[in-house]
Amino acid sequence: MTTLSIFDQSQPEHARTVTQNPSEIRELLATKGIRFEQWPTRDLPADATQEQILEVYSEEVARLKEECGFQTADVVSLNPDNPQKEAFRQKFLDEHTHSEDEVRFFVRGQGLFYLHFGDQVYAVMCEKNDLISVPDGTRHWFDMGPEPEFTCIRLFSNPEGWVADFTGEDIASRLPRYEALAEAGG
């Protein structure tokens, strides 16, 4: 279930707010400039290719490209049997920013976005049907867990794709990881 947990940076071991109400999540994230929506998903074969996924969601992707000026879209997909899963997880676990919005639409599975605003961190457990758009310059990181299982459509303004500027802050290491939040349901 999609969950938003809000942590105070000074007490990262306990969330002060947890909600699973989609409209409340949308409203709380909107106050921070984060776009959050839930879109219907379509049944796809487990082995669907990037081309098949983008074709099935071509109308939605075209609409976002036109609305937000995105140039490219691709699909990222990871499964627990991927031999490089730990390296992929580590790549996204440190706090970073981007010079463009980071947009993900979850077609399958789930992943955890952490969004850092001043002395608060919003942890959003996104799952199938969730679209999240993190504005450029927003400090954040992503945790896919030790056994990743997700497929996301990603949209980019920069044709080079995912380019991160790491902040060097250690905040990501001080908050509960995916395993703790997934187990606790938030």
pLDDT in tens, 130-158: 999 999 999 999 999 999 999 999 998 87
Helix (H) or strand (E) holding 44: none
**For residue 95, what pLDDT is reported?**
95
* Total count of domains within the chain: 1
Q: Is residue 175 part of a domain?
A: no
Q: Is residue 176 part of a domain?
A: no
Instruction: Give the burial class of 30: count Cβ atoms within 10 A of its Cβ; 0-12 exposed, 13-18 middle, 19 or more buried.
Output: exposed
Q: Is residue 85 part of a domain?
A: yes
Beta-bridge mates of residue 122: 6, 115
Please, what is the end-to-end C-alpha distance for the chain in angstroms?
A: 9
Q: Is residue 29 part of a domain?
A: yes
Q: Is residue 102 part of a domain?
A: yes
**For residue 186, what pLDDT is reported?**
45
Contact 112, 154 (CB under 8 A): no
Lowest mean per-residue pLDDT among 42-46, 71-75, 91-95, 104-108: 42-46
Q: Which residues are annotated as a binding site?
A: 96, 98, 102, 140
- Distance between CA atoms of 16 and 102, rounded to whole angstroms? 26
* 118: containing domain: 3-169
Q: Which residues are annotated as a binding site for Fe(2+)?
A: 96, 98, 102, 140
Q: Which residues are annotated as a binding site for Ni(2+)?
A: 96, 98, 102, 140
Q: Is residue 71 part of a domain?
A: yes
Q: What is the mean pLDDT of residues 77-104?
A: 93
In this prediction the pTM is 0.93
CA-CA-CA-CA dihedral for 37, 40, 44, 48, to nearest 10: -30
CATH number at residue 114: 2.60.120.10
